[in-house]
Amino acid sequence: MSEDKPDQNQSPSPAPPAVAASAPPSVQDKIKNGKTQPPRAKLGWGARLVLLLALLLAVAAAGVAGYLFYMNQQRAVAAAEQRESITQTLADRAQRVERMASEINRLQQQLNQTRDALKSVNRNRDQLQSRLAALENEISAISGAHRIDWMLREVEHFITVAEQRLSLLGDARGALALLQEAEDIVRAMNEPAARPLREALVDDIHDLKLAAETSVDVEGIFLRLADLADRVVKLGIPRFELKQEPVESEAGEPMPEEGLDLFWYRFKNFVTSLYDYQKHPKGRPITLTEDREFLARNVILLLQQAQLALLRGDNEAYRVSLMGARDRVEMYIHQQTGETQFFVSEISDLLSVQLQPPLPTITDSLRAVRVFREYWRKEKLVREQQLESIQQTQSRRQESGSGSATAEESAP
């Protein structure tokens, strides 16, 4: 019994303070451990603002760094693409250079082939010229004709034909071409005495060049006029026709059956049928039957006169003849047919042509070629005599040389 009772002498243990009882376990542990933490200091508004600005600056720096990294990546990609493009361009240019080099090589080969062919042609030409020269010499020895004789005949022929074309057809261009051929032949003669002939040809060529610049197609106009003269017979020349209509009663007037009335009716119709009026559609007179042939021949004659005026270069006579032909066609011939309209329009077109002034003459060239022909006839005899004397001298020298050589051989 005594053991169960508490000890009266023991003092009860002191109760822990209220703070310790109500504190969290961590605080209690710290208190138990004998350690105490100082109270936390609270941040003010300025510090928080500074901290916020620092945070914003950090975020901005991170964004700028990311943007710069992105831009560097883009620049690297663009540089790689540009590098690839440059590489491709260089490759294309290298291919082009190779193709151009191959093309240059091919052209060089063609040029070499052309040069070889040209050299071959030149050699063939030289051989042909040498053969022609030998043939000319043989023919000259057989026929007695010199090379200049043939060339002089060609020159005379060209000058004569040029003078005919100039005087008969008024063709300055054709005469110019013929004189140029004659001048080329005279140049190929290589004869100093032919210089006056060449000077005359050059002077006439210059005059014909000036005339050819303002010349008209005389031959073409002449042929057009000839075609119009052939078309005159196709024109619709109206003719005077006698016609008698059957006796019929006039409208509303009964025809008598017998007696004096029938006689008078037939007599009156007979008298009125003796004359008849024919009117030109344009109010122009109609030619009689025997005058139609005269009208056609008159138009043809006027066209032929225009041709002669064209050859002479007479502009006034040319225009008067064509205007006369057109006036007669417009006065006496129907204009409804297409042939007549074409005829009138063609004459109007020919009237618009302005003939050239009088053409120059080539009498100087004719006179010069005749003078050179007389000179060459005498000069050729002199040269042949000189050539014979030279050949005789050479033959005597050869004989004397062979005789001296024989004498030396026969001497002991």
| Encoded amino acid at 85, one letter | S
Q: Please give the average per-residue pLDDT across 27-46, as a whole number.
A: 59
Whether the pLDDT of residue 12 is over 60: the answer is no
The pLDDT assigned to 20 comes to 41
- 346 and 224 in a single domain? The answer is yes
Q: pLDDT tens across 141-193, in order? A: 555 556 788 888 899 999 999 988 888 777 788 888 999 999 999 888 888 88
Whether the pLDDT of residue 304 is over 50: the answer is yes
Q: How far is CA 189 from CA 131, 147, 179, 362, 367, in A?
A: 18, 8, 15, 21, 19
Do the domain assignments include residue 159? yes
Tell me what the pLDDT averaged over the chain comes to. Answer: 77
The pLDDT assigned to 10 comes to 43
- 290 and 304 in a single domain? The answer is yes
- 263 and 319 in a single domain? The answer is yes
Q: Please give the average per-residue pLDDT across 32-37, as a whole number.
A: 52
Contact indicator for 176, 208 with CB cutoff of 8 Å: yes
- 190 and 315 in a single domain? The answer is no
- 339 and 386 in a single domain? The answer is no
The pLDDT assigned to 170 comes to 73
Contact indicator for 359, 166 with CB cutoff of 8 Å: yes
- 306 and 287 in a single domain? The answer is yes
* Confidence at 140, pLDDT banded by 50, 70, 90: low
- 223 and 340 in a single domain? The answer is yes
What total of structural domains would you count in the chain? 2
The pLDDT assigned to 218 comes to 77
- 185 and 200 in a single domain? The answer is yes
The pLDDT assigned to 141 comes to 58
Whether the pLDDT of residue 336 is over 90: the answer is no
Whether the pLDDT of residue 251 is over 70: the answer is no
Structural domain including 309 reads 218-244+253-351
* Confidence at 355, pLDDT banded by 50, 70, 90: confident
Do the domain assignments include residue 374? yes
- 314 and 260 in a single domain? The answer is yes
Collapsing DSSP states into helix, strand and coil, what is residue 82?
A: helix
Do the domain assignments include residue 382? yes
Whether the pLDDT of residue 301 is over 70: the answer is yes
What letter would DSSP give residue 165? Answer: I
Do the domain assignments include residue 198? yes
Q: How far is CA 69 from CA 58, 80, 249, 407, in A?
A: 16, 16, 123, 120
Better-predicted residue by pLDDT, 38 or 245: 38
- 223 and 346 in a single domain? The answer is yes
- 211 and 235 in a single domain? The answer is no
The pLDDT assigned to 104 comes to 93
Do the domain assignments include residue 410? no
* Confidence at 244, pLDDT banded by 50, 70, 90: very low
The pLDDT assigned to 86 comes to 93
Q: How far is CA 406 from CA 392, 396, 397, 401, 412, in A?
A: 21, 15, 14, 9, 12
The pLDDT assigned to 288 comes to 54
* Confidence at 11, pLDDT banded by 50, 70, 90: very low
- 260 and 201 in a single domain? The answer is no
Give the start-end residues of each E strand in 102-176: none
The pLDDT assigned to 6 comes to 43
Q: For a pLDDT cut of 70, what percent of the chain falls above it?
A: 72
Do the domain assignments include residue 287? yes
Do the domain assignments include residue 360? no
Do the domain assignments include residue 190? yes
- Predicted TM-score (pTM) of the model is 0.40
